Homo-oligomer: A and B are copies of this chain.
Amino acid sequence: MTTPKIDLTNVLPFCRELLEEAGEIALSYFRRELAVDNKLEEGRFDPVTRADREVEAFLRKALHKHFPDCAVIGEEGGVTPGTSELSWVIDPIDGTKAFISGLPTWGMLLGLKQGRQLLAGMMYQPFTGEYFVGSTAGAFLHHGEQRRVLQTRQGTSLAEAILYCTHESMFDGPENLAAFRRVADRVRLQRFGGDCYAYCMLALGRIDLVVEDTLQPYDIMPLIPIIEAAGGVVTDINGGPADEGGFVVAAANAALHREVLDVIREK
């Protein structure tokens, strides 16, 4: 691991303030009537709210101002190249379907990379006021004045595990869906829903597994440092890095992660 070319001691508190400010924008649209566009021309329903666009525009502008040499990669605005190895990854509202349904299980994601090395990740839920952060300095949940160390559940086997996944419709083709269902058939409890909130509950030690597909890089990259710093393992379907998205296996511990990959590889 190369030395980060940025001092996270100052950067992380700045990011938290930024997300809290952006959270006010998101909350101004939460549970209010708003125009819901359909990003895809046809097929799957993928709402993009004005909140999504405004939150990302706010974050991009602030990050560009304070870190002009960093690239910025966001769901709405695409890639703005930088002159350093550092790049910010933004998902302004992860879980837009939960957002439009009024549920609090969405979140705002912000991550920082140096090349392919993940330096830090953050999830902020402005309705509940929960801020999850992970970096080499550790993984924490801040809630109001409280700070709690995040720690995944250790020693849970597949048969004892709680598995989350946002929705089965996210699996790309029958093989990937069958792989998910093989895992789902062997756990103690399988539930749908959750989006980024489920990954944070994995870091908090409440959930043991999240298995999802067709993730975008910004859906998952900011969550990986939180889970890893809490003791969990996140990879793609082949056990490689998951920061580019696709089929992702997040597990509370390494033994459970191996069990899941073995089940996925069965035919």
Contacts and interface: CB of A to CB of B under 8 A. Distances in A.
A188 to B, nearest CB: 6
Given A128-B127, A192-B167, A102 B207 contact: yes
Contacts of A189: 45, 47, 97, 100-101
Given A103-B197, A105-B103, A191 B167 contact: yes
A198 B98 CA distance: 10
B104 A191 contact: no
Contact of A162 (B31, B101, B105, B194): B101
Nearest to A98: B191
Most buried by B among A101, A162, A193, A206: A101
A37 to B, nearest CB: 13
Interface in A191-245: 191-194, 197-198, 201, 204, 206-207
B104 A128 contact: yes
Given A101-B191, A127-B128, 14 more contacts: A31-B206, A45-B188, A97-B189, A97-B191, A101-B162, A101-B198, A102-B206, A103-B197, A103-B198, A104-B105, A167-B191, A191-B192, A192-B192, A192-B193
Interface of A: 31, 45, 47, 97-98, 100-105, 127-128, 162, 164, 167, 188-189, 191-194, 197-198, 201, 204, 206-207
28 contacts: A31-B206, A45-B188, A45-B189, A97-B189, A97-B191, A98-B191, A100-B162, A100-B189, A100-B206, A101-B162, A101-B164, A101-B189, A101-B191, A101-B206, A101-B207, A103-B193, A103-B197, A103-B198, A103-B201, A104-B104, A127-B128, A167-B191, A167-B192, A191-B193, A192-B192, A192-B193, A193-B193, A193-B194
